[in-house]
Every structure is written in C-alpha cells, then in structure tokens.
Amino acid sequence: MTRQRERIHGLYGITDSGLMLGPALLEKAEVALRAGLRLLQYRDKGPDDARRQREAAALLALCEHYDALLVINDDPDLTHRIGAKAIHVGEEDAGIADLRAILGPDVLIGVSCYNDLARADRLAAAGADYLAFGAVYPSPTKPQARHAALSLFTAARPLELPLVAIGGITQDNVADVAAAGADAAAVISALFGAADVAAATQRLQAPFRRQIEETP
C-alpha cells in the first residue's frame, strides 16, 4: 500500500464522458499515458453499466501496459469486477469501512474532502489513502463546487497522506498548485479537452517533475 500511495503524484487525469466516449476515450487516454501520465481516474456517471465495464476494463489494460494506476470513481462494484487497484469516493458514497469490506485491504481509497480539513482528519484516521481538496479554482466541470484555498495543502500536511488538488487546474496555474504543496493535480478539461493531449500532459506534469528534481 505504501508503494500505491507513492503513485499519487504529478498529473492525475480524469476522464469525462462529455469530452470522450468509446474509441475516443481509449485513444485520448493512450496518448496521455504514452506522454507520461501515470495516474488516471475513470469517471462516468452514465446508466449503461455494460459500456462502463467495457471502458473501465480497457482502460485498466492500458494503464497496466504503461505502468499507470487506474482509479475508479464512486463505484466499488465496478472496481471489484474489473480488478482495479484504486477507487475515489465523495461525501455521498460508501464509507471506508464498507469499501474495505467489498474491496479488501489492498485497494487504495481516495476521498474528496472539498474545503473541509476536519473531514480530511476524520477520513485519514478511518484509513483513507489520499485526500483530495477542491475546487481550488473555478471549475467548468462543477461550476457550483465549494472553493478550497491552496493554504489547505500546508494545513493538511501533518496528516501524512498524499494530497490531491482538483478544480479548474490549467497549464497557467498548475505550478502554483504544486508550489502550494499538492502532491498531485487532478485535471479534466485542460488535459482531455486540449487540442494536443500529449503536449498538455507534459506541460501539466512539468511542475511536479521539477518538484522532485529540487528536493534535497
């Protein structure tokens, strides 16, 4: 599990059914993976379970080929069926104890903490493997999302878990997110909505590579 947690670093791509489905989903995901993406979340709220399972299984195979971690959004049953090694849940989803009962001790569990440090503290104590805060900037995907100040990353550092920033992150502000102490930046539109997904992957990843190079 320690190694899995260490993989929560750098660019964290999130798929969006509004931007890509079917072949386009797999094509864009592979472009990003080939360009260096090593952390990908499959997020699809659609009702077609058969399609979602096919897509998630295909993404898992791609991620395994590129030594990347696939995270399933909000769906423990899908996570279990395809054998994914990570899941991300929000405040209305199953609790950590229930997820462990379904998925076992070795599946990484990430949790949305929004702008709530007390929630992050509770979930860290309950066994979460990483904590996500956001929206750190206005988000085109969730325009009504609560705002999370970048100062939360300093405040949450004593919890000693990987910290993920999400919401409105672009090539113009991702360096500020990394400098604030986030271990990873979760990105949807600025990655998969880009005209050149490979170039976007590399630019969004760059501040985190510098962060590693500059660490004493």
Per residue in 79-95, pLDDT (tens digit) is 999 999 999 999 988 89
Mean pLDDT over each residue of the chain, to the nearest integer: 93
Measured CA to CA, the distance from residue 181 to residue 151 in angstroms comes to 9
Residue 104's region, left for phi above 0, alpha for psi from -120 to 50, else beta, is left
pTM of the model: 0.94
Give the model's pLDDT for residue 89: 97
Calculate the alpha carbon distances from 46 to 18, 96, 203 in Å.
10, 24, 30
Active site residue 28: no
Give the model's pLDDT for residue 40: 98
Give the model's pLDDT for residue 145: 80
| Domains of the chain listed by start with CATH number | 2-214 (3.20.20.70)
Most confident of 16-30, 112-126, 199-213: 112-126
Give the model's pLDDT for residue 101: 95
Q: Are 69 and 7 in contact (CB under 8 A)?
A: yes
pLDDT at 215 over 60: no
**Three-class DSSP labels, 60-92:** HHHHHHCCCEEEEECCHHHHHHHCCCEEEECCC
Active site residue 189: no
Percent of the chain with pLDDT over 70: 95
Q: Each residue of 174-194: pLDDT tens digit?
A: 999 999 999 999 999 999 999
SS3 170: coil
- One of 7, 43, 85, 203 is an active-site residue; which one? 43
R_g of the chain computed on alpha carbons: 16
